[in-house]
Amino acid sequence: MQVETVNLNPDEMPRQWYNILADIKINPPLGPDGTPITPESLAPVFPMNLIEQEVSTERWIDIPEDVLKVYSIWRPSPLVRAVALEKALGTPAHIYFKNESVSPPGSHKPNTSVAQVYYNKVFGIKKLTTETGAGQWGAALAFACSQFGLECKIYMVRISYDQKPYRKAQMQVWGGVCVASPSNETNAGRAILEKDPTTPGSLGIAISEAVEAAVSDRTGKTRYTLGSVLNHVMLHQTIIGLEAKLQMEKFGEYPDVIVGCAGGGSNFAGLTFPFVYDKMHGKQIDIYPVEPAACPTLTRGAFVYDHGDTAGYTPLLAMYSLGHDFVPPPVHSGGLRYHGMAPTVSQLASEGLITPTSATQVEAFKAGTMFARTLGIIPAPESNHAIAQVIKEAIKAKETGEKKVILFNLSGHGLLDLGSYEKYFANELQDYVLEDSVLKDAEKIFEAFPKPKILKSI
């Protein structure tokens, strides 16, 4: 047997999301004057019903029925034991993965895009803007907008726009309009292009463009959406971990190690936050967010206040950051090329509740190829980073003889990333490792901002 799978019945799908803000403390977002922002100040960007979720400290938040109906297209998603990978590694460890590649766009992203589009529609919004790195979030938003009848405009990081043309086509199929970022459509985009006409772009730049496009719409019927970083996004993704807990119970096991790739934090948070709750209440679990060595926000960045975008349109967030003007190398894991990290994930890292680590680009593709050759699924380049850490943990268990239970999130498939695999097999992928000088430059940016407090949740 190559795999063992546990599915939940439709009526077993969780009906509530878990809100980690009920159980941890974070530094508040700050406005330009250094004081905490008010919900009203976010109203031009987000609908008030999502702003209420963003600031809520209620532990459980009901999932609307209309959201559950769209979720039911692909949820509950399978939990799979990777028996063939275990055998190939010769490990006594049991390796499980939550397969989020089964959604229509092929990733975990619709867990929040469907919810965000629903809340915007209820609020009377007609059009949404967003940014996207690898294109998974842009595709997920286009899919969700098609389900609820909203327009959407997507600013896609230039290097990914060029590397992944079929992501753009995917968005177009669902009615989305996709442009390369930086573009000439916004003040933020034009300013960047004037400085560097050949820039590969960044998520920070694309966020600036999408926010500007939303707030400059004089009809008042356009809002901005974000696929990661903010708490309401993390919240919606927790359906992954809540399902996984139920499925692990059916397997009769509980994870010793949990792994997820980490860019802005959404798929990692979605799987791990329900288990972080258990860890705060005594469970012994090693939890690893894995990021690219080329964009090592958690592993080498500083815990600071910084903007979530390049132009400084967003509030200051307390997070690990490489500096909001950081332009990452053009690694193929576009969804992980972000200068910052979700404040909730950053807080957990600052408290030592999670253990950040990183993988190089070639190491990640090597791991993803092994996964594909044993289990048949071609993983997204982002997911390959998690798989690289899983393989390390499985080999460690082999060396110590421990029967560890390892759980990770397969955040998406790589069927629209085959160009990246082609370059891997042609030995054309570079291993970028961030230079210390970049971190030094970032320190100068942070000097102008307030310092976050050191908080303890437990």
146-155 pLDDT, tens digit each: 999 999 999 9
Domain count, the chain: 1
Give the pLDDT band (50/70/90) at residue 126: very high
Q: Which residue range(s) make up the domain with 253?
A: 4-10+63-106+232-446
Q: Which residue has the higher pLDDT, 457 or 55?
A: 55
% of residues, the chain, pLDDT over 90: 81
Contacts of 275 (CB under 8 A, 6+ apart): 241, 245, 255, 258, 283, 285, 287
Domain membership of residue 364 (yes or no) is yes
Q: Smallest Cα–Cα separation from 232: which of 262, 265, 263?
A: 265
Q: Which of 117-121, 219-223, 238-242 has the lowest mean pLDDT?
A: 219-223
Q: What is the mean pLDDT of residues 85-98?
A: 98
Q: What is the mean pLDDT of residues 50-79?
A: 97
Residue 305 has pLDDT above 70, yes or no: yes
Residue 449 has pLDDT above 70, yes or no: yes
Domain membership of residue 27 (yes or no) is no
% of residues, the chain, pLDDT over 70: 98
The phi-psi region of residue 454 (left if phi > 0; otherwise alpha if psi is between -120 and 50; otherwise beta) is beta
Domain membership of residue 243 (yes or no) is yes
Give the pLDDT band (50/70/90) at residue 341: very high
- What pLDDT is attached to residue 203? 81
* CB-CB contact of 209 with 313 (8 Å): no
Q: What is the mean pLDDT of residues 179-195?
A: 94
Residue 118 has pLDDT above 60, yes or no: yes
Domain membership of residue 163 (yes or no) is no
Query: Beta strand pairing status for 316-321 and 177-181?
Result: unpaired
- What pLDDT is attached to residue 436? 86
One DSSP character per residue, 322-382 reads: S-TT------S-GGG--SB--HHHHHHHHTTSS--EEE-HHHHHHHHHHHHHHHS--B-HH
What's the half-sphere exposure (Cβ side, CA atoms, 13 Å) at 378?
9
- What pLDDT is attached to residue 1? 52
* CB-CB contact of 222 with 356 (8 Å): no
269: amino acid identity, one letter: A
Residue 336 has pLDDT above 80, yes or no: no
Domain membership of residue 408 (yes or no) is yes
Domain membership of residue 375 (yes or no) is yes
Q: Which of 63-77, 264-278, 301-315 has the lowest mean pLDDT?
A: 301-315
Query: What average pLDDT is seen over the chain?
Result: 93
DSSP 447: T
* CB-CB contact of 291 with 276 (8 Å): no
Give the pLDDT band (50/70/90) at residue 457: confident
Residue 334 has pLDDT above 80, yes or no: no
Joined together, the tokens standing for residue 125 give 């919004």
Give the pLDDT band (50/70/90) at residue 332: low
- What pLDDT is attached to residue 265? 94
* CB-CB contact of 103 with 110 (8 Å): yes
DSSP 133: S
- What pLDDT is attached to residue 328? 75
Q: Domain containing 377 — which CATH number?
A: 3.40.50.1100
Query: Which pTM does this prediction carry?
Result: 0.94
Domain membership of residue 347 (yes or no) is yes
Domain membership of residue 402 (yes or no) is yes
Q: Render pLDDT for 371-421 as a digit per residue (tens, 0 to 9).
A: 999 999 999 999 999 999 999 999 999 999 999 999 999 999 999 989 899
Joined together, the tokens standing for residue 404 give 């560890």
- What pLDDT is attached to residue 443? 87
Phi then psi dihedrals of residue 130, to 5 deg: -160, 175
Measured distance CA(142)–CA(8) in Å, rounded:
27
Measured distance CA(430)–CA(432) in Å, rounded:
6
Query: Beta strand pairing status for 79-81 and 94-99?
Result: antiparallel
One DSSP character per residue, 197-231 reads: TT----HHHHHHHHHHHHHT-TTS-EEE--SSSSH
- What pLDDT is attached to residue 371? 98
Q: Render pLDDT for 20-53 as a digit per residue (tens, 0 to 9).
A: 999 999 999 999 888 999 999 999 999 999 999 9
* CB-CB contact of 291 with 385 (8 Å): yes
Give the pLDDT band (50/70/90) at residue 127: very high
Can you tell me whether residue 452 is helix, strand or coil?
Answer: coil
* CB-CB contact of 99 with 80 (8 Å): yes
Residue 331 has pLDDT above 70, yes or no: no
